[in-house]
Structure 1
């Protein structure tokens, strides 16, 4: 089962509101640009970006069922439901869209949380999700500026923004995001 880019776009875009599809197109554009800038594969980056939010608007119970029935990171169920769509999206990309590239699947899986030892493609898609042109939140311009000179600096700023927001709202912070952020800080310190 292989989808042309056009068929993939048609299928994925039909599963979300127009506003979210516009966001997705912004992530595709930003991922392609970051990949070209930092030596990644623009085609793989854009593929992961097209699929990154495929399950975002699925009913929460459907997402829960997929996680439980397929033994996908059950610890996610103890954290914010906003994280679930990334794991479910990677599963759907593989099972329903026939994506076999593990790097693309991981970029989808970790686009919300990050992870320790992020691959180049993970960094590109995660950062593209933060900085796509339609994003408008406090600090986004700083993240965009940092992304122009370093994927790692941009991601640390993005994760700091997410963690700060969660702390302000007195929400639980997913440990993998903190670990991903700390790993990137270590990398930056080692390269100073």
Structure 2
């Protein structure tokens, strides 16, 4: 990654990437996805004036706990007191973000709370997303490995539309994907969507 970062920050990112590669050695596609999200998060951060280092770091570790099976994710969520709306079993695919957010500070010394929050929120979003949260959430949806018209449409919006509008459209596309596939819709999703739709209408 070519960024205006300090030598220390570059070294941290290299160390994290090496640890991630080892952690995901049996999931090479997930590893490549994580690299793609990190690179895309940096591009979005540049476009919207967000801290590039935090964007790169959050992108690298956003799927840190994707290596865990469902049983382990549920057990760790209970251990850390992760709040789950609706059915924990049906929502297990969304737990890797908030579970990792609890674990990352114990793995990477000095990782910021803002990065951990972005990791926690990249699966279900929130009503009060920060710019970094929105960057990571969106990068997860439009990194180069994502295929489809929706991804191209969202990529075309980068730098042309405000970050909040880009996030809103990304979030809305996620709802379309979930509903059209008959998948479980996380209970907070409609509330989050309506909050941003209302703000959008007021602008």
Q: Is TM (by shorter chain) over 0.5?
A: yes
Q: Which of residues 10, 22, 25 is equivalent to 1:14? A: 22
Q: Matches of 1:25 and 1:129 in 2, distance apart? A: 10
For the Cα contact (< 8 Å) 1:117–1:183, is it kept in 2?
Answer: no
For 1:1-192, list aligned pairs within 5 A: 4-16=12-24, 17-75=27-85, 77-148=88-159, 149-191=161-203
Match of 2:168, SS state, is helix
Return the offset for 1:18.
1.4
Q: Which segments of 5 or more consecutive residues in structure 2 lack a partner in the other structure?
A: 1-10
Q: Structure 1 residue 143: deviation in Å? A: 1.5
- Aligned 8 A contact 1:116 1:176 in 2: no
1:138 shift after superposition? 4.2
Misfit runs of 4+, over 6 Å: none
Paired residues in the alignment total 189
Let me know the Cα RMSD of the aligned residues.
1.8
Structure 1 residues without counterparts, runs of 5 or longer: none
Cα deviation code 1:20-74 (max 9, x no counterpart): 1111111111111111111110001111111100001212111111111121124
TM-superposed deviation, 1:119: 0.6
CA–CA separation in structure 2 for the residues paired with 1:186 and 1:99: 37
Distance 1:138 1:82, change over 3 A: farther
- Normalising by structure 2, report the TM-score: 0.85
